[in-house]
Amino acid sequence: MSFKNLQSVIKDFEDRGQLVRISEPLSPKLEMTEVTDRVVKNGGPALLFENPQGYDIPVLTNLYGSLDRIRSIFNIQELDDLGAGFVRFLEMAPPKGWVEKLKLLPVLKEVADVFPKTIKNAPCQEVVHADDPDLAR
């Protein structure tokens, strides 16, 4: 499965029982790290801490904590497939003619899809604090 953004990853993992939301306010310095440490050591799910104390932004941990989740995120079967894609691109020889250039178009599209996209309306722009923003947080 190919994911459009982090929100779609979170929704999919939550639907499959691979993510647990924690709404209890916890300290990011001690409590969140301890909970995450225990979950990681037991091969548990990804954790979304919705109310870290002192912060307004949720914290997602253990996202890459299992091979199944890594395979889902990167849409691969084996971890070696991820590296093989990079090697294939790095070892690519320059095309010698128009036909070879046309054959490279799918590969170039894969490379272009890796980079961030600039869009006009993003979910992060839904709430704007224009009056007296706190830049120290």
Return the ∠ at Cα 38 (arms to 32 and 44), rounded to 5°: 100
Give 85: exposed, middle or buried? Use CB within 10 Å, 0-12, 13-18, 19+.
middle
Total structural domains in the chain? 1
Better pLDDT: 73 or 121: 73
Tell whether 126 is covered by a domain: no
Residue 112 has a pLDDT of 78
Residue 137 has a pLDDT of 64
The pTM score is 0.70
Residue 114 has a pLDDT of 73
* 56-97 per-position pLDDT tens digit: 899 999 999 999 999 999 888 888 887 887 787 788 888 888
Among residues 27, 14, 85, which one has the least CA distance to residue 54? 27
Tell whether 49 is covered by a domain: yes
Identify the band that residue 1 occupies on the pLDDT scale cut at 50, 70 and 90: low
Better pLDDT: 104 or 2: 104
Q: What is the DSSP letter of 124?
A: G
* 9-61 per-position pLDDT tens digit: 999 999 999 999 999 999 999 999 999 999 999 999 999 999 999 998 999 99
Instruction: Name the CA radius of gyration of the chain, rounded.
Output: 20
**What range does the domain containing 88 cover?**
6-115
Helix (H, G, I), strand (E, B) or coil at 61: strand
Tell whether 132 is covered by a domain: no
Q: With contact defined as beta carbons under 8 Å apart, do 59 and 32 qualify? A: yes
Tell whether 86 is covered by a domain: yes
Tell whether 75 is covered by a domain: yes
Q: For residue 101, give the H/E element and its range.
A: helix 98-114
